Amino acid sequence: MRIRERAKFYARRIREGRLKQMRRQIRWIYGYARHYWKEMCFYTVLGMGGVLLGLVSSLISRDMVDIVTGMKTGQLARTFGWMIGMSLASIIVNQITSYFSNRISYQVDAEIKADIFEKIMVTDWESVTQYHTGDLLTRWSSDASNISSGVLSFIPSLIINVFKFAGTLWLVIRSDWTFAVFALLGIPFSMLMSRTLLTRMQNQNEKNAAMSAKMSGFNQETFSNIQTIKAFDLIHRYISRLKGLQKEYIDMQLSYARMTMGSSILLGLIGLAVTYSSYGWGIYRVFTGAITYGTMTMFLSLSGNLTGSVNALASLIPGLISLTTSAGRLMDIVEMPREDYSQADEACEFLASHRGDGIGLEVNDLSYAYRTGTTVFKGVSFYARPHEIIGLVGPSGEGKTTMLRLLLALLKPAGGSIRLVAGRDRMPVTPATRIMFSCVPQGNTMFSGTIAENMRNVAPGATDEDIIAALKLACAWDFVSRLPEGIRTKIRERGGGFSEGQAQRLSIARALMRHAPILLLDEASSALDVATEREVLRNIMTDSYPRVVIVTTHRPTVLSMCTRVYQIRDLTCTKLDRDQIEKLIRDF
């Protein structure tokens, strides 16, 4: 007995928790919905107008039948004309409603997606990278679309169907209240079934969303790594994985389909019982002379309206569950910590004031640990000044890339400080100070488009001459100039069409286009030969622009060109003297 009571207690707590979570998700959705109340009111008015036309058409159809059967006198031609007019009006209103519904839906969908896209982009980088890019894409596209359509349709549909139900019921009662009893017989069963299915629907929606994200992530990752899959001869394995995911998805859907099939059969049987009961009662009322044929046909039509409006209201429940499920998945993302851009104005002023003289960096007593608890740095300090090349060396996995991410404020230090330095002025590094940095990260980071478009991504107003000058500095102009279309040559996805060395030089040229005071090169010349690597760095440093260059590298061959070299190892950052640098070069 105690076990049963405990199970009931936990089941109640789970239901209460879900209801609390659903209320929170509905409040979040309301935050979007309230911005579109005018559109929702307009859509609701159009829908209610369509309902009124339908009710009036039912009355006219009743009169038409009664006139034809001789049970009522009247002008047949005029009534027929009214019936045609109502039909035409109904068609026009329905089409107008459909047009404005689509127009508003597209607008709301675009605005909500743009808003959520912006929120995802300014979310704390370390938090958002916990999610697979395929999952993020699914949440942004599918879940955001679900929110936008729900924001527009849920409340108007609720009001329109309640109005339709109330108007139809009023018309039925006004003509013959006994028909209302038959028409309403199925409602308690529909409501009971909806309540029974509520929890199952919520669980199914959560599973569907998770499975969609899983499949999207698999597809995105597979298509992004076709070369690797082919190189390791993994084609058959990935095809098998896809089929496995598809089977899992189909089994999940069929399980839910079997449950809904049973529920639909039961509701269908109830609907048939209600419909044929209404037919029988209508025949009896006509036979006894209580109503006319026209009234009976109107009742049968209105009975369908009542059942349809009740079913439409019941269908809003799974719609609401789907809506709140999507809201919860988006809330997971958009409610994560945001990056702080509150010092954007100060950063712009700092850059404008000191761009001509250059801006340096000071790292003092810096500490950082991953969220897993693994410590990366303790008490790290170094500095960099304009016209200097600072080298960061060390074994893989010791934190060189992490250091650059800290400088870019992609990560937050656990202790210490990172400051920008210009004369006596100091400014702490924040997301807003990224305007003073230019970066060439590891890997191929070129975007699809032409070479010129890639360059103008970071310098929109750049001329062709500016682009060619940057390409020359990065030793890229020698091969770009030989291309048939020059700087208008197309770059395919992930730098397709160019070798790794060429893509790296293009990435360096793009970084130089920004004319940022601080240039970060993260293994940015690993695909270049030693001579080209040294020439690129020499070009950068002989350029008149007062720039700080911070280079991470495994190859110490360029260290002789560095002003200072720091070794990141064993949680510390140690400055190397000339003898240590020469030993590194000899050992390499």
Q: List, for residues 397-413, the tens digit of each pLDDT value.
A: 778 888 999 999 999 99
Residue type, 463: T
pLDDT band at 108 (very low <50, low <70, confident <90, very high): confident
Q: Is the dihedral of CA 501, 503, 509, 512 positive or negative?
A: negative
pLDDT band at 27 (very low <50, low <70, confident <90, very high): confident
Q: List, for residues 374-396, the tens digit of each pLDDT value.
A: 888 888 899 999 999 999 988 88
| Cα dihedral 24, 25, 29, 30 in deg (nearest 10) | -20
Tell which wins on pLDDT, 566 or 148.
566
Tell which wins on pLDDT, 311 or 549.
549
Paired with 550 in beta bridges are: 390, 520
pLDDT band at 192 (very low <50, low <70, confident <90, very high): low
Rounded to the nearest integer, the mean pLDDT of the chain is 81
If you count them, how many residues does the chain have? 588
Q: List, for residues 432-442, the tens digit of each pLDDT value.
A: 999 999 998 88
Q: What percent of the chain has pLDDT over 90?
A: 17
Tell which wins on pLDDT, 207 or 29.
29
Paired with 392 in beta bridges are: 552, 566
- Judge whether residue 225 has pLDDT over 80: no
Helices (H) and strands (E) in the chain, counts: 19, 12
Give the whole-angstrom CA distance, residue 165 versus residue 483: 70
DSSP 50-96: HHHHHHHHHHHHHHHHHHHTTSS-S-HHHHHHHHHHHHHHHHHHHHH
CB atoms within 10 A of CB 17: 10
- Judge whether residue 329 has pLDDT over 80: yes
- Judge whether residue 13 has pLDDT over 60: no
Q: What is the pLDDT of residue 9?
A: 46
pTM (predicted TM-score): 0.75
Report, as an integer, the average pLDDT of 137-162: 82
Give the whole-angstrom CA distance, residue 164 versus residue 54: 9
Q: What is the pLDDT of residue 1?
A: 46
All structural domains of the chain, each given as residue ranges with its CATH number in brackets, are: 2-334 (1.20.1560.10), 344-587 (3.40.50.300)
Q: What is the pLDDT of residue 5?
A: 55
Q: What is the pLDDT of residue 10?
A: 43
By three-state DSSP, how is residue 272 classified? helix
Give the whole-angstrom CA distance, residue 357 versus residue 424: 12
Q: Are 238 and 222 in contact (CB under 8 A)?
A: yes
Give the whole-angstrom CA distance, residue 87 versus residue 203: 43
- Judge whether residue 73 has pLDDT over 60: no
Q: φ and ψ at 290, to 5 degrees? A: -75, -30
Q: What is the pLDDT of residue 74?
A: 58
Q: List, for residues 509-538, the tens digit of each pLDDT value.
A: 999 998 899 999 988 777 788 888 888 888
Q: What is the pLDDT of residue 557?
A: 72
Give the whole-angstrom CA distance, residue 523 versus residue 85: 75
Q: What is the DSSP letter of 431?
A: G
Residue with tokens 């130089």: 512
Report, as an integer, the average pLDDT of 69-77: 64
